[in-house]
Amino acid sequence: MIRVLIVDDHPVVREGLRGMLEADPGLAVAGEAGSGDEAVARARELAPDVILMDLRMPGGDGVGAITRILADRPESRVVVLTTYETDQDIVRAVEAGAAGYLLKDTSRADLVAAVFAAVRGETVLSPSVATKLVSRMRAPAAESLSRRETEVLALVARGLTNAEVGRELFISETTVKTHLLRVFGKLGVSDRTAAVTTALRRGLL
């Protein structure tokens, strides 16, 4: 019997997933959690085989929870189940140790199959996620932004000035300008608006 922990901040989603999983005689839902912090505690308490993890939740996000859970229990398999499929979300989850990345429009049969596959040590990806990962690997290295560059550009996308971005990140305005110049070079653009638009189109934000 494979024991599964469901992590999602929406009770209705958790209830639906419980029903889908427990319809299979080989699966049992060991428990539920509604936030990243609660997921860490429940994983430690319940020692599940597989954890279905949402990414964006209050009380600690999914990627942070994955890192903490696998530090405690490296034998657990974490499969992300989310509505988000940006390059940044996918890469962060995989780098944190996720065994799979599925979207919430995944069918019940595919979800159940993914849980069994994760236990066997296989990597499970939604088709669109696999395509994004392959495309990212084939893309020129110059297109990838550093974590700090991404943080700066994300704040610019919110409409903050260079000075405001600097205060937000505790860096100087000159440093902000330097990061933006590097971003412009990597994305092949010449201004802030084009940088944000291009980054969004490529899934970098």
Q: Kindly list the averaged pLDDT for each block of 10 residues, start to end, along the chain of length 205.
A: 97 96 96 95 97 90 92 94 84 87 94 95 88 65 79 94 94 92 86 89 84
User: For residue 205, what pLDDT is reported?
Assistant: 87
CA dist 35 and 38 (Å) reads: 5
Amino acid 10 reads H
CA dist 113 and 90 (Å) reads: 20
User: For residue 129, what pLDDT is reported?
Assistant: 85
Strands 27-33 and 2-7: parallel
Contacts for 22-27: CB closer than 8 Å, 24+ residues apart: 23/108, 24/112, 26/1, 26/2, 26/116, 27/1, 27/2, 27/112, 27/115
User: For residue 139, what pLDDT is reported?
Assistant: 56
H/E stretch holding 30 reads strand 27-33
CA dist 9 and 205 (Å) reads: 23
- Residue 53 has phi, psi (to 5 degrees) of -120, 120
Hey, CA dihedral for 63, 65, 71, 75, is it positive or negative? negative
- Residue 64 has phi, psi (to 5 degrees) of -60, -40
Closest CA to 60 of 37, 88, 43: 37
User: For residue 142, what pLDDT is reported?
Assistant: 46
- Residue 5 has phi, psi (to 5 degrees) of -105, 125
CA dist 28 and 156 (Å) reads: 45
